[in-house]
Amino acid sequence: MRTVGLITEYNPFHNGHLHHLRESRRLANAEVAVAVMSGHFLQRGEPALVDKWVRTRMALAAGVDVVVELPFPWACNSAPVFAEGAVRCLEALGGIDALCFGSESGALDGLQKAAGLLLDREESIDSATRRLLREGMSYPAARAQVVAELADPKLAELLASPNNILGVEYLKALARSGSAIRPLTLPRIGAGYHEQRAVGRIASATGIRAMLGRGEDVADYLPPACAPILAEALQAGLGVDEGLLHRLLSATILRDAERLAEIYQVEAGLQNRLVEAAQIATGLEELIVAVKSRQLTRTRIQRVLTHVLLGTRRELVEEALATGPLYLHLLGCSRRGQAWLARTRKRRSLPLVQNFSRIHAALRRRYGTDERLHAAALRQLALEERATRHYALLLKKRPPGDLRRDYRQDAILA
C-alpha cells in the first residue's frame, strides 16, 4: 500500500486542505494518507480553534486515513524544530513512501537548492543571522538578508514565504536523517497563508478563524463532511475563550515573575517585558503588542506566552528535542488506516498508543531496561498531559473529565 505523509495543523480543515490531500495522493500514487498533526497548541504559539479530537474527526471525514499527534515540544516551536519532529514521527511510523507539502513556489528544485545551501553553510549563516538579531532585526528578515548576501537574492525571496520556509525545513530534516521518504510539493492555491479574504471557495485557516470571530458562516470554505463537525463543536462551547486566556496568562506571569527565567524561550530581559505588559494590558492583543519589539516577532511572543501559561521548563523541552520523540499517539484512523497500521506494525521504531492509560505499559515494554530513556519518555508524556489540561481550562464550556481526556479517549475510528 503506497503511503503519503502529510504534516498538518488542520486549524480547521478547509477546502485548501482537501485539495492538498487529494493532490498528494495523486502525485504520490498513494492509497493511504497519513497525517502528523499538531495537538492543542500550534506552531505559531496559538491554542487550536478546537481540540485535537474534533480536528481528527474532520480530517478522517475528509479522507485522511491515519492521524498521529505531533508531540508538544515540537508542535509549539520554530519552523526547523517543528519540521524535525514531524519528519521523525513519519520515519518512526515506518512504511511512508513520500512526504507531500504545500508551498508558495510549487517547485521542488528551488526549495532543495535553498535547503542544500542552509545545510552546507549552516554555521556561517547562523553566525551572520545572530549578528543581525543583535542589531535589532527580526529572525525571518535577518536570515533572508544573510541568504541574499551569501548566495542568490532569489533564494532569499523564496524564504520570505511561510510555506516555503516550512518546506525547506522538511527537506533539511529529510536530508539530515538520510531518509528514504521522497519529498513532493504542491503549489498553494487560493488565499495566502495570512490572507483573511477568501478566493472563490478557498479561504486560509487564518481567514476562516477571522470570519468565525466576526460571527460569519464559514461552511462554504469547508468540505461538506467537515462543516457540521466544526459547527457542532463550536455550538457546544468547545472553542477557546480568549478573555480567559488573557486573564490566566496575566495571573501566571505576575504570580511566577521570579521563575519566568526558567521557562523555555524566555531569554534574559524578556521576563521584565512580560511582567510590565501583564500589568498594563487589558486584553490578549494588548499583551502581545506590549511585549513585541524589533527582535521579538509576534509568533515568537505567542510561543513564549504558551510556554509561560503551561509552565514549560527549559530543561524539559531541551531534553525532549535532544532525545527525539519517544512514543507515537494515534488520534484516529479509517478502516484502510487500520489495515495499514497492522501491515506496518513491525516497521515502527516507536510504541504507538491510542490513549495514555495504556502508554505506561507500552513505555515499560519499550524502555524498561533503559532507565534513562524510560524516564525521558515519561517526562515527554507529562508535557503532553499538561498541554491537554491547560487547553481544557481555556474552553468556553469544559466537558466533565476533559482535563484527563488523553487517558480515556481512544483513537477515533472512521
Length of the chain: 414
| 7 annotated to bind ligand | yes
| 8 annotated to bind ligand | yes
Q: Are 336 and 31 in contact (CB under 8 A)?
A: yes
| 10 annotated to bind ligand | yes
Which residue has 486566556 as its cell numbers? 245
Q: Give the type of residue at 378.
A: L
| 181 annotated to bind ligand | no
| 189 annotated to bind ligand | yes
| 188 annotated to bind ligand | yes
Determine the Cα–Cα distance for residues 301 and 350; give it in Å rounded to an integer: 33
| 102 annotated to bind ligand | yes
Contacts of 83 (CB under 8 A, 6+ apart): 7, 166, 169, 170, 172, 173
Determine the Cα–Cα distance for residues 388 and 70; give it in Å rounded to an integer: 13
Sign of the four-CA dihedral 262, 268, 271, 272: positive
Angle CA 82–83–84, to nearest 5: 95
Separation of CA 260 from chain center: 24
Bridge partner list, 412: 332
| 13 annotated to bind ligand | yes
Q: Are 333 and 284 in contact (CB under 8 A)?
A: no
Determine the Cα–Cα distance for residues 111 and 100; give it in Å rounded to an integer: 13
Look up residue 390 and give its three cell numbers.
Answer: 491547560
Query: Using only C-alpha atoms, what is the Rg of the chain?
Result: 21
| 77 annotated to bind ligand | no
Helices (H), 178-297: 205-213, 227-235, 242-255, 270-280, 284-291
Give a three-class secondary structure readout of 344-362: CHHHCCCCEECCCCCHHHH
| 19 annotated to bind ligand | yes
Distances (CA, A) of 186 to 10, 27, 91, 101, 106: 17, 9, 21, 6, 5
Residue 224, judged by CB atoms within 10 A of its CB (0-12, 13-18, 19+), counts as exposed
Binding-site annotation: residue ranges: 7-20, 102, 163, 188-189
List the binding residues for ATP. 7-20, 102, 163, 188-189
